[in-house]
Amino acid sequence: MTAIPCMTGLTRPERLCDETRQFALDSMKGKYGDEARAVPAVSLDGIEGFDDLSPDEKYAAAVETIARDCPLRFISGERIVGSATLGAAIDHVVPAFRNGSAVFPSVSHVTLGFRRILELGLDGIEAELDRYADKPYTVWLKRAAEAFRLWHGRILRGSEAENPACHTLLKKVPMGPASTFREAVQSLWLTFAFTRLTGNWSGIGRIDEMLGPYLKRDLAEGRLTLDEAREILAHFFIKGCEWIVSDTPVGSGDAQHYQNIVLSGVNENGKDVTNEVTFLVLDVIEELGISDYPVTVRLNRNTDPGLLRRIAEVVRYGGGIVAVYNEDLILSSLTASGYPLEEARRFANDGCWEVQIPGNTYFIYGPFDGYSLLMKDVLGLPDAPRHFDSLDELWNAYADRLRSYADEVFRIVADSRGYYTEDGEWVWRNSGPPCAVISLFTEDCAKNGRSYYEGGPRYTVFSPHIGGAPDAGNSLHAIDRLVFRDKLVSFDELTELLRNDWEGAEPLRRYARERIPYYGNDDDEADSYVTRILDTFADAVLAHSRETPVLFIPGVSTFGRQIEWSSSRAPSPMGTKKCAILSGNASPTPGTDTEGATAVVKSYCKADLKKQVSGAALDIRLHPSAVSGGNGLAALVGLYRTFAALGGFFMQTDVIDSSVLEAAREHPEEYKTLSVRVSGWNARFVTLNREWQDMIIERTSGGTV
């Protein structure tokens, strides 16, 4: 059969059977996504009086219709069954249409409480619902559970002839608790698939913690071999590719369904959870190169050197699939923000990389451009340039604007989520559409009698995210050098040059661009500007963190918005022209880091990233030659150790040669499965438009460790 391609010059291992590998290729080339696109949604047109129903009644009817009428798919040889077969779910809507249009949007940036379905089964979850039968919202949770039962029943009946082995599993799970690895994987998949079928994009969470105990018991009791377990787990990954289509319209990339997986780290009791499943996941990624489940590994001071080496081995195959968290720093960050330690130890992410407690969190983030805040709000460019007599005066004005921005966002967020009564009681507002499927798998919604959007979860989190901080910091550094220290130009002359996009001042622009060291080169002075911005922003946000039940926490990201922002961005004092695509996340401005990836990591870690409670992402791109052989592998392991030891938060590393990306741009038909890390998600490179491709090609670093 055709080999699974690798674009870094390595040959992928072949551990899985040919049938499984062919299943993977079919999935990644869009066979099942095309099938889903052919049936976008079920119809609600036949429901009499639908328009007169309440929103919750409409949602319940939509989910029940999906469960009853969606196509079922059984694939020869699949080890687990169930598929999200309605194509409109790929577009982030509930795939039930009225008069040809979607009625409800769906939910993402969430990781649901899948562990409970493994431990309790749907029967156990419904038994808990019965304890809250007096709460009006319980009826909608019960309706969602009934829809799940309806869909499960259809698959159970169909599998009797189509897949007898899975039929046996489905007699028990997910209605009851799982007791074996096969049952646990089937239960987890079918529950996840149901949430996807109804349009939602949930993360998976800590898959090794959830599945590891079942596999360990099966191995000890001789029910299963490690090779058999790998095949089963591979099918979980392959089925997660069922929304890939063969001809994706170009844009910000496919595979953006936030189904992130988290590996390793400690459990609630502080015990390491690393187990056989941890390594099987890495095996599957290494062999199949499936990027639709981005994986993040929790590193800590006690991480097994063997796991670190295994991460590095897999990362060398490219695709940017495996990233790392610094668990020690994140636990310190979460507990400082008020999370109990036992709860904090459960952290995963929102399906992207922002940290949250799975099954207990409503999360939303609000990104903003910190660079434009400096250039437009403070410097007044281009229309009303302001004058500053010193860098301190300029810095104080910018710091004040960061604080006032945080204040403004907090007031808007607090008012939109709830209010205090005269008696000091907090009353939640409903801030979103019906979403009982999500609420069903969010632990406290039943107890609180409120939906996911109405303060039902244990934690309601809003996180302002600063973007462009490296660009703003570099701009302040350039102003300090050009105007106040080297005195190459006056302040007003510089702002006039910026108004004119550096026209007529090419030598000075090149001096600013090439002669001044910037963030990302382990230069303390250059890095201090970015550090100061991040710390000031975080302090401004955290000043409001305990004022309401809404957790107000900072983070650092762009998620590719540097492309969207570029059209309105001013020329910079560091020598970039107007409309330039600048830094992504907490990474250096493109072209300014020249000292290799280790220097970038050191610069990034100089900020107190513990304050960025939601997260602060660093993007690193390495040339395959930098990580080849034993020395290259050791260098990559050393990079991870440096990241953790110096206080990093989250780092995503891609290994690719720009020449391969250029070739893929010229001949996309030959590179259909070439995956790259975009931000919190991965995408096939050929599904990115020209601007997004340029961003990936120009990304830090210079390719060396």
Q: How far apart are CA 141 and CA 411, in angstroms?
A: 32
Task: Tell me how far apart the alpha carbons of residues 41 and 507 are, in angstroms, rounded to a whole number.
Answer: 59
CA angle 296/299/302 to nearest 5° reads 155
Q: What SS3 state is found at 650? A: strand
Determine phi and psi for 262, rounding to 5 degrees: -120, 135
Contact (Cβ atoms closer than 8 angstroms) between residue 86 and residue 40: yes
Q: Where are the domains of the chain?
A: 39-200, 370-589
Residues 208-258 have pLDDT tens digits of 999 999 999 999 999 999 999 999 999 999 999 999 998 877 765 555 688
DSSP letter, residue 611: G
What percentage of the chain exceeds 90 in pLDDT? 86
Dihedral of alpha carbons 352, 193, 150, 120, sign = negative
Collapse the DSSP code of 37 into the 3-class scheme (helix H, G, I; strand E, B; otherwise coil) and give the result: helix
pLDDT at 581: 83
Mean pLDDT by groups of 10 residues along the chain of 705 residues:
80 96 95 98 98 98 99 98 98 98 97 98 98 98 99 99 98 99 99 99 98 99 98 98 86 71 98 99 97 95 97 95 98 98 97 93 96 98 96 99 98 96 97 98 98 98 98 98 98 98 98 97 98 99 96 93 86 96 92 94 98 97 93 96 98 89 81 74 78 72 63
74 vs 82: CA distance, rounded Å: 7
186 Cβ partners below 8 Å, 6+ apart? 80, 81, 166, 169, 170, 173, 174, 178
Q: How far is CA 82 from CA 93, 239, 538, 563, in A?
A: 20, 9, 44, 38
Closest by CA position to 316, among listed 289, 338, 296, 297: 289
Supply the pTM of this predicted model: 0.96
For 539-575, b where at least 16 C-beta lie within 10 A, e where not — what string?
bbbbebbeebebbbbbbbbbbbbbbebbeebbbbbbb
Q: What is the pLDDT of residue 701?
A: 47
pLDDT for res 638: 96
User: Which pair of tokens denotes residue 662?
Assistant: 């250029």
C-alpha to C-alpha distance for 315 and 294, rounded to whole angstroms: 12
pLDDT of residue 256: 65
pLDDT tens string 549-583: 999 999 999 888 888 888 889 999 999 999 998 88
